[in-house]
Amino acid sequence: MDRIVVHTDKVPPARVPLSQAIRTGGWVFVSGQLGMDPGTGRIVAGGIGAETRQVCENLKAVLEAAGTSLARVAKVTIYLADLADLLPMNAVFSEYFPQDPPARTTFQAAALVAGARVEIEAIAAA
């Protein structure tokens, strides 16, 4: 089985040892994405809505680099710094997955990298 490392310059580079995504066995496994602006490498300002939008844009960029798309996402795991952000996060998330959204698990995490409010990882059909 082939194992292809996926990389795009359209998202900020990781500061830890990880691949943005791995394509293998007909699937793409995307590492957790934060709401980091590709230009500055910092979490975008504007709260949970702005962060969620940037997370989804970063997921979209990695998936496209892997030759797939948000429409082919089968499962996401969402990590929130505070579950009180669930409703506003859902409002933005729903814009990116308007019909037949992926299977999903959502957790509250004690802390996220770089003070992020949300992180999302995804598994998509290749």
Q: Both tokens of residue 34?
A: 């934060």
Q: What is the mean pLDDT of the chain?
A: 97
The reported pLDDT for the residue numbered 78 is: 98
- Which residues does the chain have with pLDDT short of 50? none
The residue extents of the domains of the chain are 3-125
User: Which residues make Cβ contacts (< 8 Å) with residue 40, sequence separation at least 6?
Assistant: none
3-state secondary structure of 103: strand
**pTM of the predicted model as reported, rounded to 2 decimal places:** 0.96
3-125 has which CATH code? 3.30.1330.40
User: Judging by beta carbons within 10 Å of its beta carbon (0-12, 13-18, 19+), is residue 35 exposed, middle or buried?
Assistant: buried
